[in-house]
Amino acid sequence: MSALSHDIIKSLRNATGDVFHEIINIYINDALSIINEMESLIQGNNIEQLRHLVHTLKGSSRNVGALKIADLCAAFEAILKSALPCDTKHHARIIRLAYEETLPLLESYIVN
């Protein structure tokens, strides 16, 4: 799966016009803040707030076409909802890596 859906990005650009770049910039900054907060919550073992942040990141990622991040968040959210033991640090690390993979792709839409 591609990290970014170019079709969703193009639709978003067409629908939002002049504010497209601002939307992408907000997503880039907010997603990084959420990932950092997720890692902090894992340290504090605050699973309910973690699940809420994962859900938030899933939705915003899907909206901007960052489907790899959205899919990873959906899987992590399902695990958190199940209350089964899991390596939360591992899941957060995978989401961060997907963000780092997606970031330059998103940034290329800002410059173009």
What CA–CA distance (Å, rounded) separates 112 from 106? 10
Cβ–Cβ < 8 Å for 100, 35 = no
Cβ neighbors of 86 (< 8 A, separation 6 or more) are: 79, 80
Dihedral Cα 61, 66, 67, 73, nearest 10 deg: -40
Which pLDDT value is given to residue 112? 63
In the chain, % of residues over pLDDT 70: 98
Using alpha carbons, select from 59, 62, 43, 54 the residue that is nearest to residue 78: 54
Res. 75: pLDDT tops 70: yes
Average pLDDT over residues 9-35: 96
Please report the domains of the chain, with CATH numbers, ordered by start residue. 6-111 (1.20.120.160)
Reduce the DSSP state of residue 6 to 3 states and report it.
helix
What CA–CA distance (Å, rounded) separates 36 from 18? 29
Which pLDDT value is given to residue 1? 66
CA distances from 91 to 44, 71, 99 (A): 16, 12, 12
Cβ–Cβ < 8 Å for 57, 31 = yes
